[in-house]
Chain A
Amino acid sequence: MLLLLILFPLFAAGLSLVLPWYRVRSWLLPVCGGLHLLLTGYLVASPGAVIGPWIGIDALSRLVLAVTSLLYFGCSIYAVGYLDLRRDRGNRTMVPCLLAFLSAMTLAVTARHLGLLWMAVEATTIASAPLIYYNRNRLSIEATWKYLLLCSVGIALAMLGMLFVAYAAMVGGNVPVSLQFDVLLAGAQALSPPWLHAGFVFLLVGFGTKMGLAPLHSWKPDAYGEAPGMVGALLAGGLTSVAFLAILRAMQLMIAAGDGAMARQALLGLGLLSLLVAAIFMVRQSDLKRLLAYSSVEHMGILAIGVGIGGLATFGALLHLVNNALTKGCLFLAAGNIQRAYASKRLSEVRGAMATLPISGGLFLAGFLAITGSPPFGPFISEFTILRGIFAGGQFWVGLVMLLLLATVFIGMGATVLPATQGEAVPLETGFHDSLLLVISPICFLLLILLLGVWLPEPLRIALTDAAALLEVTP
C-alpha cells in the first residue's frame, strides 16, 4: 500500500514523458495528486503504526504526509491553469519532475532507514532543480546553480552525520551496526556519545541547509524568487516540512540516547538566529517572492524554536508546521498570479493589486495577515501556543526576543505587502485575469487555515499529540 503510494507517481512521471498531448500531460498532475491524497487519507485514517524495515508510518510521518499530500493536490490543480498560461515554455520537463518530486517526498517522509531517507532527500533536490530552472533565463540559472550546489553539499554533510551515527554504534558495541532507524532507536543508550553528538550536528547542518535555517539559507531567496509560484509553494510548504521531519528523526535519536537537552539547545539557537536574519532582510525588501522566502526562513526558525523549547511548544510547532505549509501555499500561489498579471514581482511595478485583481490581491493580503500571526487565522493559534510553551518553560528572554522579532517581521512585511495590494487599480498589459483553476486552491488553503484558527478538529488534535509524544519520550 505504502509502496504503491511511492511508486505510482514515478510511473505517472514515466507516462508523462511519452504522452504527446499538452493538456493531458497537465491534467495528469491533479489526477495523481488526487489519487495520492485519497490513498494518503486512507493510510492516515487507518489506526496504528505500520512499520517495516525500510518504510513505515508513525505519528510524525503521518502528519507530514497528510500535509504535503494536501498541499501537493492544491498546487497540482493550480498547475493546470498555470501551464495553460505558459504554453511558450511547455510542460515536458515540468510535469515529470513534479511527479518525481512527489514520489521522492513521499519516500523521504515514510523512510525508516536513514540511508533511504538520505537518498530520498537528495532525490528531491535533483527533481526540483529543473523546476526552479523553468523560466530559463540568467536569473533562474543562477538560482538553480546555487540551489543545486549548496543543497548537494549540505546533503553530503548529512550523509557524513549519518555515518557518524553508525560509527557511534560500532564504537559503542552492544548495538548492531545499522542505519535502520528502529534498531538505532532501540539501542540508542549504547551509542557512543561523542560520535552520536557529532552525527547529530552534521545531520542538523545538512538537513538544516535543505530546510533553510539561517545561516544556511542563502539559496532560499534566490530559488523561491526565481521558481514559478507553485514550485515555491511546494518547496516552502512541502519540502521544508520533509527536511524538518529528517531533523526531528535525528532529534528522536538524541532524546532516546538521553541527550535531548543538547539537541534542543542547538535547535533553539539556530531557530532564534533564523528569526533574526529573516527579520533583518524582510525590512525594505521590495521583491514579493524574496519576501516570502525570508518569511519561510522565519517560520523554519519558529518551528526550530518550538521543538527546541519542548513540552507544549512542541505541540505548537507541529501545529505550526501544518499552518505554515497551507499559508505558504496560499501566499505563493497568489504571488504567482500577481507576477503573471503585472509581469513583475517588484514593488516598483506591483501596485493596487486588490483593485486590479480582486481575488488574487485579496488572497495575498489575507495570506500576509495569516502568516504574520494575526487572529483569527491558524498561525496565530500555533505561534501563541509556542509562546505559551516558552513562557511556561520559564524561558522569559527567549519569549521576549521572539515577540520583538515577530513584531519586526510584521512591520517589515507589511511595508511591502500593503503598498503592493492597496491603491488605485492599474491597467494590465498582460491580459491576465483570475480564472477558477488559478484561484480555487489558494482560496481553499485560506479557508482551511481560517478553520484551523477558530476550531482545532479532534482527530487533528490527537494526531498532533501523538506526534509530539514521539519527541517527548524521556528515557
Chain B
Amino acid sequence: MATLLLLTVILINFFTLGSARLVACIRAVAVQGALLALLPVVTHGVNGHSLLLGAGALLFKGLFIPWLLLRAIREVRIRREVEPFIGFVATLILGSLVTAGAFIFADFLPLAAEHHEGLYVPTALATMFSGFLLLITRRKAITQVLGYLVLENGIFIFAVLLSAALPLMVEAGVLLDLLVGIFVMGIVLNQISREFSTLNTERLTALKE
C-alpha cells in the first residue's frame, strides 16, 4: 500500500515537470498532498497521532493551499507556463535522471535496518529534487511556489519516517507555517501581477549589481 502511494507520488512529480497547464499542475500537487496525507496512517497504523497529522496534511496540502493558488491564478488569468528556461522534454529527462539517481543513491545510504526495503527514502529524495527542478527551470512565479510545495512534500515523506521525533505540536506548527507562508506568497503574487501585469519572474530583475 505504502509502495503504491509512493509510486503515485513519483508519477505526479513527472506530471508536474512535464505539464504546461498551470491549473493541471496545481491540481496534481493537490493530489500529491492528499496522497501524502494517507502516508502517516498507512505507515504507522491508525492512531491518534497519525490520524491528526494526516487530517492536517489533507486539509492544508490537499485542499486549502491549492484553493489559494487556484484563486490566485484565476485573478491574474494565467493558464499556461510558456517557454521555461529549460524545455519540458529536457526537464522530464532531467527529472528521470535525478529520480534514478535518487534510487541508486538511497541504496548507498546507511539507513536504519527497517528502511532498507521501502521506497520512502528514494521517493523523498526524488520528490525533493523534482521540486528543485521546478524552482529553477520555470519562469512563472506561481510555478516556483509549486516547486517549493513539491520540495516540502519530499521533506514530509522523510518526516513521516520520524514521527516519533516530531511531536504533534511541532508538526502542526510546521504545517501552519507552510500555510501562512503560501498565503503571503499568494498576496505577493497578486501584487506582482498588478504591478507588472505578468507573473514572469524575469521581469523581476531591476535589483542587481
Contact = CB atoms under 8 A, between A and B. Distances in A.
B135 A171 contact: no
Contact of B206 (A136, A139, A177): A139
Contacts of B181: 122, 125-126, 148, 152
Interface string A104-144: 00000000010110110011011001100100111101111
Contacts of B184: 126, 129-130, 148
B148 A119 contact: no
B111 A179 contact: no
A221 B209 CA distance: 9
Contacts of A149: 135, 144-145, 148, 185
A146 interface: yes
Contacts of B103: none
A115 B166 contact: yes
A312 interface: no
Contacts, number: 120
Interface residues of B, number: 40
10 contacts: A115-B173, A115-B174, A119-B170, A122-B181, A126-B177, A141-B192, A142-B204, A148-B181, A170-B161, A221-B207
A364 interface: no
A163 interface: yes
Contacts of B24: none
Given A141-B204, A178-B165, 7 more contacts: A129-B188, A141-B188, A145-B201, A146-B204, A160-B158, A178-B164, A221-B209
Interface residues of A, number: 47
B1 interface: no
Contacts of B111: 171
B159 A119 contact: no
Contacts of A118: 170, 174
B151 interface: yes
**Interface residue SS majority, chain A:** helix
Interface of B: 110-112, 128, 135, 141, 144-145, 148, 151-152, 155, 158-159, 161-162, 164-167, 170-171, 173-174, 177, 180-181, 184-185, 188, 191-192, 195-196, 201, 204-207, 209
A281 interface: yes
B148 A222 contact: no
A194 interface: yes
Among B148, B177, B209, find the residue whose CB has the most chain A CB atoms closer than 10 A: B177
A195 B165 CA distance: 15
Nearest to A223: B207
Nearest to A164: B158
B162 A166 contact: yes
A192 interface: yes
Given A119-B173, A119-B174, A123-B177, A143 B185 contact: no
Given A122-B181, A129-B188, A141-B191, A116 B173 contact: yes
Given A145-B201, A153-B135, A163 B110 contact: no
Nearest to B159: A163
B158 A163 contact: yes
Contacts of A166: 162, 165-166
Contacts of B162: 163, 166-167, 170, 177
